[in-house]
Amino acid sequence: MSQIEINPSILSQSANKTVLITGAARGIGAATAALFNHHGANVVIADLAQFQETAERLIASIFTNPQRAIFVPGNIVDWAQLTSCFKAAVEMFGGIDVVVANAGIMESSPVLDMDVDENGDLKENTDAERVIDVNLKGTLNTLRLGLFYMKQPSKETSTPFKSIVLIGSTSSYFGGTGVTAYIASKHGVLGLLRASQSTAQELGVRVNGIAPFLTPTHITAGFAQRWKDQGLEANTPERVAEAIALVALDESRQGQCLLVAGRYLQELESPRMKLLPEWIGEEVAEFMGRAMQFFVSIGGCKL
């Protein structure tokens, strides 16, 4: 696979666009908000109400154009709250051009533990349920609202300039890191990326994804230093933010997912499709291709 280089000039396309980013008070979301704002975008930081002060400090201290940024409290799992975030963005800036579904969490205890209660029954793992709720349901909520608020009035619209970026993970493709609920949820985000393409194209919105490898933030604080001590290549939030901006602004990208691992930046989805015949065999690949075309021809699987 060929290495992708980010052309700095593409960032200039941020000017005067309105970008809504979930989970943007800290980490990758904060770096992404600062990058877009630096290049002239209006930025809506959507995050939990408890992070309002953090977000306001971020806007005041490192944003180049603080007058072009607002914080809107909202929980992505709560439909009414997240809807209010989108409405606030439209009310403040007149519309939305880019949505970054960034908010996510990771479990703090093993999901497949065998802990039992006083009766000897296996305990429910509520931590795992919370991770799947936020990472999968919350991303689905963000995707649906993004499509609704950015849909184009006519199918005759040329190349879609409105876009949604779903933040997956290398755990969307690989499953050896041990965080079971996180891995399952990020596989689900990749499923949303693939499953949303037909609807997104009909609505005139591009949907792409990002699959970052380990990025030192509050989520990975428990093991980031040990990773560094091993000499393993790590991202920075700023590096991931650049990749997010690339897929958000490059109008040639639709249905792609970029691996971001330190200096490595590569597209994953199109090479996967090219390798399909080699993986499952040409005959099976041909059959699966015809089968998928059947479902497309009937408008999807009719339940």
Catalytic residue ranges: 182
The Cα-based distances of 43 to 11, 79, 91, 164, 181 in angstroms read 14, 21, 13, 14, 30
Structure token digits, residue 80: 């009414």
Q: By C-alpha distance, which of 94, 106, 9, 19 is closest to 63?
A: 19
CA distance 45 to 264: 28
CB count in 10 Å sphere of residue 257: 25
Phi, psi of 299 (to 5 degrees): 80, 25
Contacts of 133 (CB under 8 A, 6+ apart): 77
Phi, psi of 102 (to 5 degrees): -100, -30
Structure token digits, residue 48: 């939990």
CA distance 192 to 166: 9
Q: What angle do CA 48, 54, 58 make, to 5 degrees?
A: 120
Phi, psi of 185 (to 5 degrees): -65, -40
DSSP state of 230: T
The length of the chain in residues reads 303
Strand partners, 47: 73
Strands 264-267 and 257-261: antiparallel
Residue 168, classed as helix, strand or coil, is: coil
Total H helices, total E strands in the chain: 11, 8
